[in-house]
Amino acid sequence: MNSQAVKTHLLRKMPDILCFVCLVLVLWKASCLFFRAKRRRYLASLCPTEDALLLYKLTNYVEFGFLSHKALEFALFRTFAIPSISKLLHSTQQFCPSSILKRYDDTDILTQEFVLHHVDSHRGSLALQRLNFIHAHYNISNADLLYTLSLFVLEPIRFTAKFGYRNWTEGEKQAQFVVWHDIGKRMGIKHIPQNLEELEAFSRRYEAQKMVYSESNRVIGDATLDLLLSKVPVSFRPFARRVAYALFDERLAKAMGYPLQPYWVVWSVESIVRLCGGSFVRWCLPPRPIHWSTERIQLQETEEKQEVYKLRYDEYKPCIYPNGYKIAEVGNAPGGKVGKSGQGSLLCPLPWLSQNKIS
C-alpha cells in the first residue's frame, strides 16, 4: 500500500478515531465526577470534632496535599515579617547555612508528630512537650505564639481557596481549627479564640499592627528562601525568586523588604498555579487514593528497643536524621528533656479518636 493510499485510509477512519477519543474522554471525566462525588459524601459523613484528626489528615495530605504543604511554607514568611519573631529567631543563630536545614527538619518532624497523632497520645504528647521545652529557653510572647498558631490554621484554607480545585467545606475548616486549637492548648497558649472567625479576626488585627519591615525579617527570609530554592538550578534561581515574590501580598512583601512585582508577573504566576492546582485537578484527575493519608513518620525498632523513628521521605536532602531520631533529642536544646504539657479542656479529647474510619 503506497503512501497516498495510507493517507486516504486514515482520512476515512478519522471520524471513527475522533469518536473513540471523545468517548474515552467523556468516560474518564464521568468517572472523575463519580469518584469525587463519592469522596465528598465520605468527607461530609465525618464529624468535624470527633473525627477532627482524621478529617485533618484527609484534607491536608490527600485532598490538598501539595497546596497545603506550600501554604505552610509561605506561612513561615508571615511569621518572619513580625520583627519580634524574626529578631528572636535571628538571635538563635540557627539560620546560617550550616544549621538552617537541621532547624527546618527539626520543626517539620515535631510538627508532623503532633498533627499526625493526637496531642494526648504517646507520640503526640511527647513531641508537644519537647517543643515546649525548646520554647522555654526563649522569651516568646503569648501573642506571637497565638499569631503563629493562627497561620497554621488559616493559611492552608486561604491558599486552597485561591489556587485549589475547590474551597474547603465548613466541616474541613472546623476540623482544622479543632486540631490546632488543641495543639495550642497543650502548648500552653492562652486566650485562644473559640471559633475560626474570631481567630481570623485576631490574625488580621495582629498583622495590621505588627507586620512592619525590620532587617532581621529580610535576613531570616533570605536564608529560608535559599533553602526552599536549593533544588532549583543556580541559573534559574533569580527567576524562581521572582515567582516566590509574586505570591507575596503587598503588606508581606514590604515587611520582608522584597520588591513588589509588576501586575503582569503576579497575574501570570497566580494563573499558572491556579491552572495546575485547580483547573487541571478539577477536570482531569480523579481524587487521590485515601491511603495517601498515611503518616510520613514510622517506628523503627532498634537493638536497644528504644523508640527511634525514621522519616519515610525527606524533601530536603541529605536527610539530617538518616538513621532515625528520638523525639526527645530533636531540636536545638539539651537532649533527653521535655517540658510540661499545657492544661485545659480539648475540643477533641483522645477517647473520640476514630482512626478505624480510614478505609
DSSP conformation letters of 163-207: HSSSPPPHHHHHHHHHHHHHHHHHTT--S--SSHHHHHHHHHHHH
% of the chain with per-residue pLDDT over 70 = 85
pLDDT of 309 over the 80 cut: no
The per-residue pLDDT for range 163-213, each reduced to its tens digit, is 988 889 999 999 999 999 999 999 999 999 999 999 999 999 999 999 999
Helix, strand or coil, per DSSP, at residue 238: helix
Q: Is residue 52 situated within a structural domain?
A: yes
Lowest mean pLDDT, pick from 137-146, 202-211, 332-341:
332-341
> 238 pLDDT exceeds 50?
yes
In a domain, 8, yes or no: no
User: Is residue 65, in this structure, part of any structural domain at all?
Assistant: yes
User: What is the Cα–Cα distance from 322 to 316, expressed in whole angstroms?
Assistant: 12
Confidence of residue 268 (pLDDT cuts 50, 70, 90): very high
Where does residue 312 rank: exposed (0-12), middle (13-18), buried (19+ CB within 10 A)? exposed
Measured in degrees and rounded to the nearest 5, phi and psi for residue 311 equal -70, 135
Cα–Cα distance measured from residue 308 to residue 299, given in angstroms and rounded to the nearest whole number: 6
If you average pLDDT over residues 299-311, what whole number do you get? 52
Residue with the three cell numbers 475548616: 173
Asked whether residue 14 is assigned to any structural domain, the reply reads no
Domain total in the chain: 1
pLDDT at 315 over 60: no
Asked if residue 90 belongs to a domain, the reply is: yes
What is the pLDDT at residue 300? Answer: 45
What pLDDT score was predicted for residue 359?
41
How would residue 158 be classed by pLDDT, with cut points 50, 70 and 90? very high
pLDDT value of position 302: 42
> Which amino acid, 122?
H
Query: What element of type H or E holds 311?
Result: strand 308-311
Residue 24 lies in a domain: no
Contacts of 354 (CB under 8 A, 6+ apart): 50, 51, 54
What gap in Å lies between CA 88 and CA 188, rounded to an integer? 19
| Residue 192 falls inside a structural domain | yes
Average pLDDT score over the chain:
84
The span from the CA of 197 to the CA of 182, in Å, is 17
- Lowest mean pLDDT: which of 22-31, 40-49, 69-78, 83-92? 22-31
Confidence label for 331 from pLDDT (cuts 50, 70 and 90): confident
154 pLDDT band (50/70/90 cuts)? very high
Q: pLDDT grade, residue 313 (50/70/90)?
A: very low
Q: Which residues contact 257 (CB under 8 A, 6 or more apart)?
A: 213, 215, 217, 218, 221
Query: Which residue in the block uniquely carries the three cell numbers 533529642?
Result: 329
pLDDT band at 304 (very low <50, low <70, confident <90, very high): very low
- Entry pTM: 0.86
Q: Which domain holds residue 133?
A: 46-357
pLDDT beyond 80 at 11: no
* CA nearest to 111, candidates 215, 184, 46: 184
Residue 255 falls inside a structural domain: yes
Tell me: pLDDT of 316 over 50: no
The neighbouring-strand residues paired with 309 are 299, 325
Q: How confident is the model at residue 4 (pLDDT cuts 50, 70, 90)?
A: low
